[in-house]
Amino acid sequence: MDLVTSASGLAVGIVVGLTGVGGGSLMAPIMMLIFGIAPATAVGTDLWFAAITKTFGAWVHGRKGTIDWQVLRRLAYGSIPASMLTLYWLHTSGATKGSGAWMTKALGAMLIASSVAALSRARAHALGEHLRETQPVPFKATQPVLTVLAGAVVGCLVTLTSIGAGALGAIMLLYLYPRRLTPSSLVGTDISHAIPLTLLAGTGHALLGNVNVELLLNLLLGSIPGIVIGSLAAVRAPANLIRTAIAIVLAAVGVKMLV
């Protein structure tokens, strides 16, 4: 057991359980910048880390009744096919081979996008609430299609970088469902949707040889109890404060990876 690695998993697990954000966006940079893992292996390992860790968080949210299964299905209708197509491109193009410089840049860009998304949640929610109030019929009529499209965007980005299911998925849901999803059901639905997506994407990366099993097991020793603790405390925790702090860290790390 590697205590440093497991402690990293514990910290990330708690953050994901509290906010639904931070799985890929925190763990992938940790693996690359602290543990010296190659970009493609960091992405593949992180996808399995997210899938297994978030399963325990979804179990807690399921028991609490904070998962909107209809919204989750709509997201999956877009994300699963998009992930399969992205995996096919990665396999046929050989894009994960070599130095992985493009993947490092993509990770940096996604970290900055996730930071912006985390800081823009209130604005996205307010915009969705305004449209829901002023144009209720067309707004509700387009919800299913836009949710599927949102899922497709998340599916592609997560498969390429392991980042996006949390921060970007959440901001899309806040805009599309400003009244339907409570803060806890937003986290529960976002976490639960990530499970089949990351399982599929992680399996594809494993077939490409992009998973470090020993590192994954050490991370899970910390992350599994961490996400259970975070999910149980999600209702009482100052999630906005935590999310703001994460956003600042993500932006700084994203810039570092880009330059």
CB neighbour burial string for 37-70, b if at least 16 within 10 angstroms, e if fewer: bbbbbbbbbbbbbbbbbbbbbbebbeeeebbbee
The 3-state DSSP composition of the chain as helix, strand, coil percent (nearest 5) reads 85, 0, 15
At 86 the pLDDT is: 95
The whole domain housing 66 covers 3-258
Q: What is the CA radius of gyration of the chain?
A: 17
- What number of H helices and E strands is found in the chain? 11, 0
Q: What six digits make up the tokens of 181?
A: 């999803």
Those residues whose C-beta lies under 8 Å from the C-beta of residue 58, and which sit 6 or more positions away, are 67, 188, 191, 192, 195
d(CA 225, CA 80) in angstroms, rounded, equals 28
Query: Which residues of the chain have a pLDDT value below 50?
Result: none
Please count the structural domains in the chain: 1
Q: Tell me what pLDDT residue 23 has.
A: 65
Enumerate residues 6+ apart whose C-beta is below 8 A from 177: 68, 71, 128, 143
Report pLDDT for 135.
94
Q: What percent of the chain has pLDDT over 90?
A: 38
φ/ψ of 103, rounded to 5, equals: -70, -35
